[in-house]
Amino acid sequence: MASEKQIAANRANAKRSTGPKTALGKMVSSRNASRHGLSGPLPLDQNTSAKIGFIAQLIMGARADREQLASAVAFARAHLELLRIRATRAQMLTAIDWDHPGAQELRQVAALDRYERYGHTRRRRASMKL
């Protein structure tokens, strides 16, 4: 059985470790895991939507099957995400000082492999449905 002193200490610790309370603190903590924006979905602005539509139409040609069109759109989206990952990797590699590369920088570049593998998987699954 815990003593009164231990219970009080546990309650004090719990009050400090329940996460941010203010709107600013919540906003800051919500961005903790995003370094490069690749974990979120592809931003769908007008330009990106046009590219996805163009690639899907190239894949589909004259066919107009609704299910295959959805697969072509998924393929195009995954392909554009792969291009975005590769562009981010190229940008990160050009920013590295190769005379004195830092371990943290190299780990960040290597971490992009996970996103690229996921993009390849999504593109492959979409192509299997075509």
Q: How many Å apart are CA 85 and CA 37, to the nearest integer?
A: 10
CB 52 within 8 A of CB 73: yes
Give the pLDDT score at 36. 65
Give the pLDDT score at 78. 95
Give the pLDDT score at 21. 81
Give the pLDDT score at 35. 63
Q: How many Å apart are CA 28 and CA 45, to the nearest integer?
A: 25
Give the pLDDT score at 55. 92
Give the pLDDT score at 9. 92
Locate 30 and state its tokens.
């919500």
Q: How many Å apart are CA 93 and CA 112, to the nearest integer?
A: 12
What totals of helices (H) and strands (E) does the chain contain, helices first? Answer: 5, 0
pTM of the model: 0.68
Give the pLDDT score at 34. 66
Give the pLDDT score at 47. 92
Residues in the chain with pLDDT values less than 50: none
CB 88 within 8 A of CB 36: yes
